[in-house]
């Protein structure tokens, strides 16, 4: 009788196994299979630095940085505090699952990148063939930057982005990037917009990234405002370099 009562009143703990069962039932999941293990390090070991995720999972810095970005976007950990550990907002797997489910829309970005991963790595002659919209091109460019060694690659919100679609870092230089999926040459306005966004997001360099080319006026304006222009040929260079690695 006592044993039956104990079974009724004692609830089983929500452990990593239960979390994985529920996580696998979500309609959208992080494309990186190491995400649950990164979360395990956060919850059980209370480690929240990019270098710690890199060391414990034996992965590259770029991949660990992307996992940390994802955990931050999901509000499981806080923003970077320099040399100090990031604040950890959860104490259990149950809390983590509830937050992930609540912020499930944030997973779409990390899921959409995976759809473009194989496309980016295809031969350059097939570049951009499967892209149908500006948003798809942004996700494509974000994955291309990740493949090219950029870290902390983030796609900004679709509206009120101040002229910047992607923020990324490479060699400690912070880039503000506007993506233009055009069928014609990109003009002055894109350069003007990314200048505004570069200053707003406190970036070192502004970039306009396009599948097309630029007008002569846009090239001249970019030169005078320290803006880089990455056109069709530059993107092909990125694709060929990432494909050969």
- Region 11-25 average pLDDT: 83
Residues 6+ apart with CB under 8 A from 64: 38, 50, 51, 53, 54, 57
Query: Is residue 29 located within the same domain as residue 130?
Result: no
Please report the pLDDT score of residue 106 as a whole number.
60
Query: Is residue 78 located within the same domain as residue 128?
Result: no
pTM: 0.53
Report the Cα–Cα distance between both ends of the chain, in Å, rounded.
65
Which range of residues forms the domain containing residue 213? 108-244
Domain count, the chain: 2
Please report the pLDDT score of residue 72 as a whole number.
85
Query: Is residue 95 located within the same domain as residue 122?
Result: no
| Domain termination residue (choose one: 102, 119, 142) | 102
CATH code, 181: 3.40.1350.10
Query: Is residue 78 located within the same domain as residue 133?
Result: no
Say what percent of the chain tops pLDDT 90: 39
Query: Is residue 116 located within the same domain as residue 236?
Result: yes
Residue 152 backbone dihedrals phi, psi, to 5 degrees:
50, 40
Give residue 10's pLDDT band: very low, low, confident or very high (50, 70, 90).
very low
Query: Is residue 40 located within the same domain as residue 144?
Result: no
Query: Is residue 158 located within the same domain as residue 39?
Result: no
Please state, in angstroms and rounded to a whole number, the distance separating the CA atoms of residues 202 and 188: 22
Please report the pLDDT score of residue 88 as a whole number.
95
Query: Is residue 130 located within the same domain as residue 238?
Result: yes
Q: What is the pLDDT of residues 142-195, one digit of tens each?
A: 888 988 889 988 888 655 668 899 999 999 999 999 999 888 899 999 999 999
| Domain termination residue (choose one: 102, 126, 142) | 102
Please state, in angstroms and rounded to a whole number, the distance separating the CA atoms of residues 69 and 64: 9
């Amino acid at each position: 009788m006592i044993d039956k009562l104990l079974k009724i009143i004692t609830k089983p703990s929500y452990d990593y196994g239960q979390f994985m069962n529920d996580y696998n039932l979500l309609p959208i999941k992080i494309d990186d299979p190491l995400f649950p293990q990164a979360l395990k390090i956060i919850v059980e070991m209370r480690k929240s630095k990019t270098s710690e995720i890199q060391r414990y999972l034996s992965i590259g810095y770029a991949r660990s940085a992307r996992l940390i970005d994802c955990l931050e976007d999901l509000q499981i950990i806080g923003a970077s505090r320099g040399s100090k550990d990031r604040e950890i907002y959860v104490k259990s797997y149950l809390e983590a699952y509830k937050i992930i489910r609540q912020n499930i829309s944030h997973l779409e970005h990390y899921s959409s990148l995976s759809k473009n991963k194989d496309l980016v790595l295809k031969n350059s002659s097939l570049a951009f063939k499967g892209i149908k919209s500006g948003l798809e091109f942004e996700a494509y460019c974000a994955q291309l930057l990740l493949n090219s060694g950029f870290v902390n690659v983030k796609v900004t919100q679709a509206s009120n982005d101040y002229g910047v679609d992607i923020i990324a870092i490479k060699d400690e230089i912070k880039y503000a990037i506007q993506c233009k999926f055009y069928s014609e040459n990109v003009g002055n306005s894109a350069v003007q917009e990314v200048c505004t966004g570069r200053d707003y997001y406190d970036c070192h360099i502004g970039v306009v990234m396009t599948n097309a080319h630029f007008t002569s006026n846009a090239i001249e304006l970019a030169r005078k405002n320290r803006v880089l222009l990455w056109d069709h040929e530059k993107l092909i260079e990125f694709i060929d370099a990432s494909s050969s690695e």
